[in-house]
Structures are given as structure tokens and as C-alpha cells.
Amino acid sequence: MYNISLLPSEYRMLHQASKKKDKGLMISIIVMLGLFALYLGLTLAMAAKGRELDSIRNTNRIVENRISGIGELIALKNEAKSLSDMASKAYGKNPEWDSLLAEISNTVPENIGLTSIQLSYSDGKGNCIVQGVSLNHQGVTDWIKALEELNKTGEVMCNYAQETQGRVEFEISFALLPGEGFVFEEVAASE
């Protein structure tokens, strides 16, 4: 079959141009709808990112407030450290006198009586001189051994031990070891 048109050729050309125009218009509408959908999607995505940014900014403000509070704590910690350093310098490495004297007195045997104790400590060196009486030389020897076992004393020396009138008068000297000094204990920060 043949297609025969009785319309003049101008009408046919106008008709074809109209079809092309309609086709072009339809493509333009579809492209515009696609661009509108893309614009709408990007707008929604930007709104979501904007809300996320606001949330991050709020979190950031909270963290900055906490950090400023921590700054005050750091200043207090530095001040405490400074005071601790001053206390350590003032206290030095002196022996712990109360526990040292208690330990020395706990080592004294029953058959020994003390007549004098001289303690001195300066510039990291200490000395103790003890004078006393004992019923026999064995008591002095036993006490020297007990003193040597103490952790807070150095070498123990018997300066003299003389037997007079049925008793032994003696003098013992030993070095005093430095103590730990002032110890500042840091408190762990709790969150």
C-alpha cells in the first residue's frame, strides 16, 4: 500500500514541523522535570547536612565549655604541683623520725638500758649515737645484729663496750639512711 496525501506540501511540512516541535517540547519538559527532581533532592540533602552541622556546632560548644572548665582544673593542678615541689624541697629527704625511732626502740633487747640517743641529719647524711648499759656483751652483739637488719639504718659500729661493776657500758653509732621525702599523690581525674 502506498501513502498518498492530497494535502499541499506546505501543510505537510507544517505538520512535520509541529510534530518535531511537540517532540522537542516533550523532551524539554522531561529534562526540566529531571532537573527539578535533582534540585529537590539536593535541597533536601543540604537541609539534612545543615541540621547535622547545627548538631555538630552544638556539640562543639558543649565541648568548648568543658575544655574551659578543664583549663581551670589544669591551673589548679599546676598550682598544686608547684606547692608540692616547694613542700618536697622544704621537707627534703629527712628520715621519717617517728617510724625510725619506733623501729629502733622495738629492736632493743630486754637486758639493755639506753642512757642517751643523739640523732643528727643534714645535707642528706644522718648519724645516730646510742649510749647504754647491758648485762653482758652478748646483749650488745644481739642488738647490733637487730639494728643491721633495719632498712632505715646504714652500717652499725660499736665504738666501745667496757665491762664495769658487773655491767657493760657501750656506745653504738650507725648511719641514718635518707627517707622518701614528701610524696605528692596525684588524684586521677574522673570523667
- 19, 76: one domain: yes
Residue for grid cell 653482758: 136
Percent of the chain with pLDDT over 70: 91
CA distances (Å), 52 to each of 145, 171, 173, 185, in order? 77, 83, 78, 43
End position of a domain, from candidates 48, 65, 92: 92
Domain that holds residue 48: 10-92
Task: Say how far apart CA 149 and CA 25 lie, in whole Å.
Answer: 108
- At 120-138, the pLDDT tens digits run 888 778 889 999 999 888 8
Q: Which helix (H) or strand (E) holds 113?
A: strand 112-122
What pLDDT shows up at residue 189? 52
Is residue 120 within 8 A of residue 127, CB to CB? The reply is: yes
> Using 50, 70 and 90 to split pLDDT, how confident is the model at 191?
very low
Q: Is 123 inside any structural domain? A: yes
